[in-house]
Amino acid sequence: MTDTASTTPGATAPSHPLQFSLVPSTSKRVQAERESILADPGFGQHFTDHMVTIDWNIDGGWHDARVTAYGPLMLDPASSVLHYAQEIFEGLKAYRHADGSIWTFRPEKNAERMRRSARRLALPQLSVENFIESIKQLVAVDGDWVPSAPETSLYLRPFMIANETFLGVRAAHNVGYYVIASPAGAYFHGGVAPVKIWLATEYSRAGRGGTGAAKCGGNYASSLLPQMEAHENGCAQVLFLDSETGTRIDELGGMNVFFVHGSDTLVTPRLTGSILEGVTRDSIMQLARDRGMTVEEREVTLEEWRLGIESGDITEVFACGTAAVVTPISQLKGAGVSIGDPDAPAGEITMALRQELTDIQYGRMPDRHGWLTRLDA
């Protein structure tokens, strides 16, 4: 705590519950337009009528929490985020239940992670309470944008940027926190289909002491070139190994990875500092334990994956994250590497865990772990 305070004084001062003001949009989409967007929203293409803004500065801390019309930000060209990428973000979803109510999933985990990301990027920490309130405030005005078709949701994107007009290199003294929201269609059209993934051998996502465990835009910027390489090779996503030895599995560009051994053991790489701690990852481990499976967080090598598929010990491989929930992996490809069968069907345990998680999120199954928070009441 003290070292964060020394880079950004006041950054960790306890923040009081903020009062949000509302200036409603004067250009809200009419119902017909909203409904036509919600009928086929895609992902990340359409945005709701409003957004949340909370300002922070070094002297006054967090202030001016407000809900206003969605629209462009005014940024000075010298704004520090544009030069030094002092930026973090979160991603979570609002789900509509059958009775029309609106819920989100473990938002306190996202709030806590955003505080850890903020610390690493020398940004101020917003309290868990204010983070959750910011989401409630946005959903209170834009609740009609939460779709109701199966597997659809309203994707919530809180983010924080350094917006001080200053080219010197230090933690910014002015920061903005925002929340925008985007309706999201079912990730898989026509059923969940296994994907092929590409092994990055030339590029790393994160190194020792780096920002791999923080959810920051910079991590994504560095993953885009290998991601292009993946696409060129017919793969949906890129897998990164640890940067020190190039032998251990870290994670995909934006998803964590799991291995099913036999029918009763679930294995995922342990958090080393270069892996992002997914909320989905944590939830999947809990659901697996609930089913009586043995869950292991440990080192997983590329060699173990290869041998495990060859011997039949590894029976299923999947990736997980908020956007796609759980995605079966059929094959890993790379320069001189091919593990698994591109035509392999989705695994049974993979699909059962996916079903159970979405059943809880959509209120089709009891929320036995208290994971849901109601947003519209």
Ligand X SMILES: *Cc1c(COP(=O)(O)O)cnc(C)c1O
- Pattern of binders to ligand X over 141-170, x per CB under 6 A? ------------------------------
User: Do 133 and 17 contact (CB within 8 A), yes or no?
Assistant: yes
Distance of closest approach, residue 172 Cβ to ligand X, in angstroms: 22
Decide: residue 341, CB within 10 A, 0-12 exposed, 13-18 middle, 19+ buried.
exposed
Distance of closest approach, residue 28 Cβ to ligand X, in angstroms: 29
Distance of closest approach, residue 321 Cβ to ligand X, in angstroms: 3
Q: Which of 310, 359 has the CB closer to ligand X?
A: 359
User: Near ligand X by CB under 6 A, which window of 69-77, 194-202, 247-255, 302-310?
Assistant: 247-255
- The only residue of 91, 143, 217, 218 in contact with ligand X, by rule CB under 6 A: 91
Angle between helices 128-142 and 107-120 (to 10 degrees): 120
Q: Which of 194, 254 has the CB closer to ligand X?
A: 254
Q: Hunting for tokens 């305070």 — which residue is that?
A: 5
Q: Which of 49, 251 has the CB closer to ligand X?
A: 251
Bridge partners (DSSP) listed for residue 182: 155
Q: Which of 79, 153 has the CB closer to ligand X?
A: 153
Decide: residue 292, CB within 10 A, 0-12 exposed, 13-18 middle, 19+ buried.
exposed
Where in 58-87 is the site for ligand X (CB under 6 A)? Answer: none
- The only residue of 183, 185, 254, 334 in contact with ligand X, by rule CB under 6 A: 254
Tokens of 186: 């079912």
Distance of closest approach, residue 291 Cβ to ligand X, in angstroms: 19
Angle between helices 107-120 and 279-290 (to 10 degrees): 140
The alpha-helical segments, DSSP class H, found in the chain are 2-7, 31-39, 81-84, 107-120, 128-142, 217-232, 279-290, 302-311, 348-361
Tokens of 125: 């920490």
CA dist 372 → 54, 110, 203, 362 (Å): 25, 13, 38, 10
- The only residue of 137, 211, 256, 331 in contact with ligand X, by rule CB under 6 A: 256
Distance of closest approach, residue 64 Cβ to ligand X, in angstroms: 28
- Whole-angstrom Cα distance, residue 237 to residue 317? 14
Q: Which of 49, 229 has the CB closer to ligand X?
A: 229
Where in 99-138 is the site for ligand X (CB under 6 A)? Answer: none
The 3-state DSSP class for residue 44 equals: coil
Where in 263-282 is the site for ligand X (CB under 6 A)? Answer: 276, 278-281
- The only residue of 87, 142, 251, 356 in contact with ligand X, by rule CB under 6 A: 251
Distance of closest approach, residue 217 Cβ to ligand X, in angstroms: 10
Tokens of 70: 């969605």
User: Binding residues for ligand X, how many (CB under 6 A)?
Assistant: 13
Distance of closest approach, residue 212 Cβ to ligand X, in angstroms: 8
User: Near ligand X by CB under 6 A, which window of 8-16, 154-162, 248-256, 258-266?
Assistant: 248-256
Distance of closest approach, residue 117 Cβ to ligand X, in angstroms: 10
The 3-state DSSP class for residue 160 equals: strand
- The only residue of 37, 192, 255, 349 in contact with ligand X, by rule CB under 6 A: 255
How many helices (H) does the chain have, and how many strands (E)?
Answer: 9, 18
Q: Which of 63, 369 has the CB closer to ligand X?
A: 369
Contacts of 137 (CB under 8 A, 6+ apart): 20, 22, 52, 65, 67
Distance of closest approach, residue 325 Cβ to ligand X, in angstroms: 9
Where in 171-230 is the site for ligand X (CB under 6 A)? Answer: 215
- Whole-angstrom Cα distance, residue 171 to residue 164? 9
Distance of closest approach, residue 158 Cβ to ligand X, in angstroms: 12
Using rule CB under 6 A, residue 321 touches ligand X: yes
Q: Give the distance from CA 143 to its chain's centroid.
A: 21
Tell me which residues touch ligand X (CB under 6 A): 91, 215, 251, 254-256, 276, 278-281, 321-322
